[in-house]
Amino acid sequence: MGFNWTIIAPEIAVLVTGFVILVSGLFLKKGRNSILTAVSFIGILVALGLTFKSFSLTDVSFQGIVIGDRIAFFFKIIFCLGTLLTIFAASTYVGRELKGLSEFYILVFFATFGMMVMASSTDLITIFLGLEVMSIPLYVLAGIYRKRLRSREASMKYFFLGAFASGFFLYGIALIFGAYGSTNLIEISSRFSFAGGASTFLALAGIALILIGLGFKVAIAPFHMWAPDVYEGAPAPATAFMSAGPKAAGFAALFRIFTVFAPVLNDKFTSILWILCVLTMTWGNVLAISQKNIKRMLAYSSIAHAGYVMIALVVGGKTGFSAAMFYLLVYTIINIGAFAVIILFAGREEKFENISDYAGFGFRYPFAGIALTIFMLALAGIPATAGFVGKYKIFIAALNSGYIWLAVIGVINSLISVWYYIYVVVTMYMKPAEAEHPPAMAFSPTLLVAVLIALILTLQLGIFPESYLKFSDLAGEHVNLITVFQSIFNSM
């Protein structure tokens, strides 16, 4: 059992990029923002390339705490894509509002590193480390717009509640260690095959606490309270970043842990998940309706989307896993795309962040208007966009395993969501423009690239999703790969 460095090559690339920016940020003065963007871009491309190289890997290394399987591969693709889009969408904003603060990029890269660790580790302690490495930069990112009171408030709130959630997660690990004498998922999974003597109660309590800890990060009701305030207060690019990748990372860890513990998860636990799932979808969608601030609205919508992914979590297994991964990919693309347009529309100092400010924008900024329309329709799950295919796959998973009511509730929730997504489009195109002309939006080529990439992917995944679906199915096949590696612990 050696050290297979190729498994964690993408992580290393991301970390190195973070440090390069950290050091170069000290020396660069003039025009450093564009240089930092370029460095970030190259760094993320390298990480993406290394991830693709690791596709055929199936290996566990570093004393069985890191796994290289297609699930990790797929999630790393999601994170790289999310980071790439965030950097492009944020570049001009960072230069203008944050005076080219290099810390923004550094924090984004460190958080991405944390997410990757979360998705590829097979030990609860490593998952926790990944969680913290991801979360702490996010707390700072939320407060990086120091001039704004609300940004600082968001940061504090996020930090206090996040620290609290981490406590739950740690306590859960402790209980599980008490039940099985190990924190390693592979080792624990080997216990199920013979012993069966472990205390199920202790394990269930541990998993429940872990669910709370991670449920906080992915914003499932009733642990979602931080999301609206933080999304609203944080600067728009930071919100874009934290709404996509961290959610995927949290779900990656949840899925991994739940698949391992599937043998002890009884029907009661599934029905609790069922209730949380329905609560999350409904709560998010219903509260999103009355929001006036677009970032706050998208915060509630992100809660609702976490609910859709939870349908796949309830279903579990191969179909659930691949449906969830595909959905998270789709959601990352659409959501960051939507936020990119919001960054553009917000103007200087984020003056325009209420939905009512968008009156008449559809015709004033034709391209951005059409782009935001498509992103909103995609979030609502209208066909010919990626959002539809994602939901379709999740509903197939639900009906395939007989969760008919879950699917029906999901569908009704989609309908509710149409209402508030469409409202944005209504405001842009059908409400008369405000008399006071807002200042011309600063044209930004990088932002345009971000919107274009997201737009093309949204349509491509909506109309020709075959190759991506196949990838997610292939990744789903690795759902029980962990058990293959049990032997390394027996031989130790």
Partner 1 sequence: MEWPILTWIVFLPLLGCLVILLLDKTWHNAIRWTALIATSVDFILTIILFCKFDGSNTDMQFVVGPFPWIESLGVTFSLGVDGIAILLVILTPFLTAIAIASTWTSITEKVKGFMISMLLLQTGMLGVFVATDLFLFYIFWEVMLIPMYFMIGIWGGGRKIYAAVKFVLFTMFGSLLMLLAIIKLYVMTSPDPLLRTTDLMTILNMKITPDLQVWLFLAFALAFAIKVPLFPFHTWLPDAHVEAPTAGSVILAGVLLKMGTYGFLRFCLPLFPDATLQFVPLISILSLIGITYGALISMVQKDVKSLVAYSSVAHLGFVMLGMFALTTQGVTGSILQMINHGIATGALFFLVGVIYERRHTRLISDFGGIAHVMPLYATIFMIVTLASIGLPGTNGFVGEFLILLGTFKANPVYAVIGTAGIVLAAVYMLWMVQRVFFGKCDKEENRKMADMNCREAFIALPIVIMIFWIGIYPKTFIDKIEPSVKKVIETVKSKALAGDEAAFEVYNSSFENAREKGKSE
Cα 83-88-94 angle, rounded to 5 deg? 100
Return the number of the residue (214 or 482) whose C-beta is nearest partner 1. 482
Q: Are strands 59-61 and 66-68 parallel, antiparallel or unpaired?
A: antiparallel
Task: Find the Cα–Cα–Cα–Cα dihedral 166, 170, 173, 175, rounded to 10°.
Answer: -120
How many other C-beta atoms can be found within 10 angstroms of the C-beta atom of residue 31? 10
Q: Note whether 349 binds partner 1 by CB under 8 A.
A: no
Binding region for partner 1 (CB under 8 A) out of 171-179, 207-215, 377-385, 444-452: 377-385
Q: Given phi > 0 = left and psi -120 to 50 = alpha, else beta, which region is 437?
A: beta
Residues in 420-439 at the binding interface with partner 1, rule: CB under 8 A: 422-423, 426, 429-431
Closer residue to partner 1, CB minimum distance, 92 or 427: 427
179 is a site residue for partner 1 (CB under 8 A):
no
Q: Does residue 412 interact with partner 1 by CB under 8 A?
A: yes
Q: How far is the CB of 431 from partner 1 (least distance, A)?
A: 8
Give Cβ neighbours of residue 26 (< 8 Å, ≥ 6 apart): none
**Using rule CB under 8 A, residue 164 touches partner 1:** no
Q: Does 376 interact with partner 1 (rule: CB under 8 A)?
A: no
Minimum CB distance to partner 1, residue 328 (Å): 17
Q: Which of 148, 150, 318, 364 binds partner 1 (CB under 8 A)?
A: 318
Say which residues have a Cβ less than 8 Å from residue 355's Cβ, sequence separation at least 6: 291, 292, 293, 294, 297, 423, 424, 427
Residues 264 and 287: their CA atoms lie apart, in Å, by 35
Output the smallest distance, CB 488 to partner 1, in A: 25
Residue 81 or 376: which CB sits closer to partner 1?
376
Taking the complex as a whole, the smallest distance from the CB of residue 423 to partner 1 amounts, in Å, to 8
Stretch that binds partner 1, among 87-95, 155-163, 208-216, 467-475 (CB under 8 A): 467-475
Neighbours of 156 (CB within 10 A): 14
Using the CB atoms, write b or e for 199-236: b if 16+ within 10 Å.
eeebbbbbbbbbbbbbbbbbbbbebbebbbbbbbbbbb
For the residues of 376-436, what is the DSSP string, one character each? Answer: HHHHHT-TTSHHHHHHHHHHHHHHHTT-HHHHHHHHHHHHHHHHHHHHHHHHHHHSPPPSS
Binding residue for partner 1, selected from 49, 178, 317, 438, defined by CB under 8 A: 317
Between CA 249 and CA 410 the distance in angstroms is 23
363 interacts with partner 1 by CB under 8 A: yes
Q: Is 319 in the site for partner 1 (CB under 8 A)?
A: yes
Residue with Cβ nearer partner 1 (177 or 429):
429
CB of 112 to partner 1, least distance (A): 29
The one segment of 14-22, 86-94, 299-307, 459-467 that binds partner 1 by CB under 8 A: 459-467
Among 146, 383, 445, 487, binds partner 1 (CB under 8 A): 383
Q: Is 192 in the site for partner 1 (CB under 8 A)?
A: no
Between the alpha carbon of residue 489 and those of residues 182, 276, 483, 486, the distances in Å are 11, 35, 11, 6
Q: Evaluate whether 143 touches 162 at the Cβ level (below 8 Å).
A: no
Question: Contact between 35 and partner 1 (CB under 8 A)?
Answer: no
Residues 417 and 289: their CA atoms lie apart, in Å, by: 8
- Judged by CB, which is closer to partner 1: 226, or 403? 403
The only residue of 469, 483, 488, 489 in contact with partner 1, by rule CB under 8 A: 469
121 strand-pairing partners: 66
Q: Near partner 1 by CB under 8 A, which window of 176-184, 192-200, 353-361, 460-468? A: 460-468
Q: What are the backbone dihedrals phi and psi of residue 68, each rounded to the nearest 5 degrees, phi first? A: -115, 95
Stretch that binds partner 1, among 119-127, 161-169, 210-218, 311-319 (CB under 8 A): 311-319
What is the smallest separation between the CB atom of 414 and partner 1, expressed in angstroms?
6
**Does 384 sit near partner 1 (CB under 8 A)?**
yes
H-assigned helices in 234-266: 236-260
According to DSSP, residue 347 is labeled T
Chain residues in the site for partner 1 (CB under 8 A): 317-319, 363, 377, 382-384, 388-389, 392-393, 395-396, 399-402, 404, 407-408, 411-412, 414-415, 418-419, 422-423, 426, 429-431, 464-466, 469-470, 473
